[in-house]
């Protein structure tokens, strides 16, 4: 069997005589001619319709030249193409090869030349299809790997954006190439220019410290105290093989930055809260030590005096001992109550309670003390509708006793304390209120932010040697907060002070 038998050929030639001549030669040597096209568009359509084994393509044709027609055939219906051309130039050969041409014939061709060109085109086409298949597989693998990397980068970006710590990546010179939103917020909003420069310098110092040939596992850390912000920085070198990318941020996303460059990741932990707790702990220990030491010293003194004085004078000293013992008992009870509040173990039994009745009871219990101090108490009850609050009556009596007791204590003789119950609008809701106002010494402006701090006592009360633990207002504030309310404070030195307790109104009639 002749090797040309059953090979189906499509002829594309706009010169009818040349097309018929080529057809005759092809049929003479055993090829099957499936059709003849006279322009570029027609040969593309006929290739798709007849699916020949090879196309003999004239370069110069109307509507579309042979090079462009070959490109379309290669893209939409891959078929071996032999170009027919009157002359061959390096530029045309390059264009034809790029389009997918497999061989060339110089017009007018003879039978031997056509047979050889068709065989070359068919063989080259097989190689081209293998290469195209491999390129397709390679492109698919590249796309899959790109998708994997994009997913990894998206996951990394999500982690960096969701973490509460600040995270930065630097190059070997300490320059920041990536910063997560926490750090960006510090740089753009929180920190002053001086503090920002100090933080950048600390990051750069850690990165340069690790930029050499650091051993695996080497770390570096430092602490930084800025204005209102305490930071702990921990740095580690990024280990990567030569050629692996370092990440950087650009336009809100994470991109590849460099190949095999030294890099450092710095974790920045905000320890402001822990520092504040440590300071509070230190202050608590200092204050409690002082508050416990003072009554103990006094008790020891009176015991020594009792031992050295006749029995008939003991009564005076025993009264003083009892006073100090009571003060210490109140202090210890206050500390225990603070501890229960902090541990969430303070038992609360809220019920719908009439603030009129509760307040009247507390006021009546303080009338004798007020009269002894020469202070007038006025109680303004709510009428006609009495606010009903959902509170633990015993805990709320403790709050009002503290506020009323302080008001009487710090109001001079001839002064007045007014307790009023009512309702007020705030934050889009109605609250039940109890206000305790006095005409006492008032609180200096610089002390107002510290009034509810534990163990805080103002300068004037200390100078006046007024007995107290410094825990009453702190406990009162915590108890009210546990009821879903708050205590507000207004004070003017030399005029007086008003504490207002805001409580949720009960929905139960």
User: 195: phi > 0 → left, psi -120 to 50 → alpha, else beta; which?
Assistant: alpha
Token pair for 378: 């006025």
Poorest-pLDDT segment among 88-97, 289-298, 317-326: 289-298
Confidence band (pLDDT; 50, 70, 90) for 399?
Answer: very high
List the domains of the chain with CATH numbers: 8-134 (3.40.50.2300), 163-270 (3.30.450), 278-342 (1.10.287.130), 351-504 (3.30.565.10)
* CA nearest to 123, candidates 106, 109, 103, 105: 103
Token pair for 14: 């706009």
* CA nearest to 226, candidates 196, 252, 203, 247: 196
**What does 263-303 look like in DSSP terms, one character per residue?**
EEEEEEEE-HHHHHHHHHHHHHHHHHHHHHHHHHHHHHHHH
Prediction pTM value: 0.48
**What does 380-405 look like in DSSP terms, one character per residue?**
E---SSPPEEEE-HHHHHHHHHHHHH
Query: Please, is 192 exposed, middle or buried when counting C-beta atoms within 10 Å of its C-beta (0-12, 13-18, 19+)?
Result: exposed
The more confidently predicted of residues 348 and 487 is 487
Partner residues linked to 104 by β-bridges: 83
Partner residues linked to 377 by β-bridges: 417
Average pLDDT on 63-70 reads 85
Token pair for 132: 């195209």
What pLDDT is attached to residue 499? 94
Return the beta strands (E) in 301-415 as ranges: 351-354, 376-380, 388-391
pLDDT in tens, 36-54: 998 888 989 998 889 998 9
CA 113/CA 5 separation, integer angstroms: 17
Partner residues linked to 91 by β-bridges: none
What pLDDT is attached to residue 5? 59
Query: Please, is 188 exposed, middle or buried when counting C-beta atoms within 10 Å of its C-beta (0-12, 13-18, 19+)?
Result: exposed
CB atoms within 10 A of CB 64: 16
Confidence band (pLDDT; 50, 70, 90) for 472?
Answer: confident
Q: Are 124 and 70 in contact (CB under 8 A)?
A: no
């Amino acid at each position: 069997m002749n090797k040309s038998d059953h090979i189906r050929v499509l002829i594309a030639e706009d010169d009818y005589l040349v097309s018929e001549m080529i057809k005759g030669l092809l049929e003479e040597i055993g090829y099957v001619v499936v059709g003849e096209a006279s322009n570029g568009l027609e040969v593309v359509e006929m290739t798709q319709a007849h699916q020949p084994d090879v196309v003999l393509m004239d370069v110069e044709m109307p509507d579309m030249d042979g090079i462009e027609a070959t490109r379309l055939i290669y893209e939409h219906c891959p078929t071996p193409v032999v170009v027919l051309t009157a002359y061959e130039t390096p530029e045309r050969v390059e264009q034809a090869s790029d389009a997918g041409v497999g061989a060339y014939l110089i017009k007018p061709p003879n039978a031997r030349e056509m047979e050889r060109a068709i065989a070359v085109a068919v063989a080259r086409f097989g190689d081209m299809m293998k290469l195209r298949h491999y390129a397709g597989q390679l492109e698919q693998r590249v796309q899959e790997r790109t998708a994997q990397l994009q997913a990894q980068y998206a996951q990394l970006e999500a982690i960096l954006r969701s973490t509460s710590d600040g995270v930065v990546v630097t190059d070997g010179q300490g320059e920041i190439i990536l910063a997560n939103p926490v750090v960006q917020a510090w740089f753009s909003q929180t920190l002053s220019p001086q503090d920002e420069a100090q933080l950048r310098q600390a990051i750069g110092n850690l990165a340069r410290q690790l930029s050499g040939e650091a051993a695996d596992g080497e770390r570096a850390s430092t602490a930084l105290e800025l204005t209102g912000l305490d930071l702990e920085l921990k740095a580690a070198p990024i280990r990567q093989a030569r050629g692996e990318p370092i990440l950087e941020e650009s336009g809100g996303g994470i991109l590849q930055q460099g190949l095999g460059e030294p890099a450092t990741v710095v974790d920045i932990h905000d320890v402001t809260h822990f520092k504040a707790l440590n300071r509070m702990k230190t202050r608590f220990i200092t204050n409690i030590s002082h508050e416990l030491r003072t009554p103990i010293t006094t008790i020891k003194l009176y015991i020594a005096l009792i031992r050295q004085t006749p029995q008939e004078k003991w009564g005076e000293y025993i009264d003083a001992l009892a006073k100090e013992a009571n003060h210490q008992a109140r202090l210890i009870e206050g500390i225990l109550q603070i501890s229960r509040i902090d541990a969430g173990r303070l038992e609360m039994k809220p019920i719908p309670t009439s603030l009129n009745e509760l307040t009247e009871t507390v006021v009546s219990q303080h009338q004798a003390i007020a009269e002894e101090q020469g202070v007038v108490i006025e109680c303004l009850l709510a009428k006609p509708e009495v606010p009903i609050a959902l509170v633990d009556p015993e805990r709320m009596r403790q709050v009002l006793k503290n506020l009323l007791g302080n008001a009487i204590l710090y109001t001079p003789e001839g002064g007045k304390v007014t307790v009023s119950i009512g309702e007020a609008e705030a934050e889009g809701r109605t609250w039940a209120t109890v206000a305790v106002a006095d005409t006492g010494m008032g609180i200096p402006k610089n002390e107002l932010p510290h009034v509810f701090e534990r163990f805080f006592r103002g300068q004037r009360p200390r100078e006046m040697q007024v007995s107290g633990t410094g825990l009453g207002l702190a406990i009162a504030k915590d108890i009210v907060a546990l009821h879903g309310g708050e205590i507000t404070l207004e004070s003017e030195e030399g005029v007086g002070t008003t504490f207002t307790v805001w409580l949720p109104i009960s929905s139960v009639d």
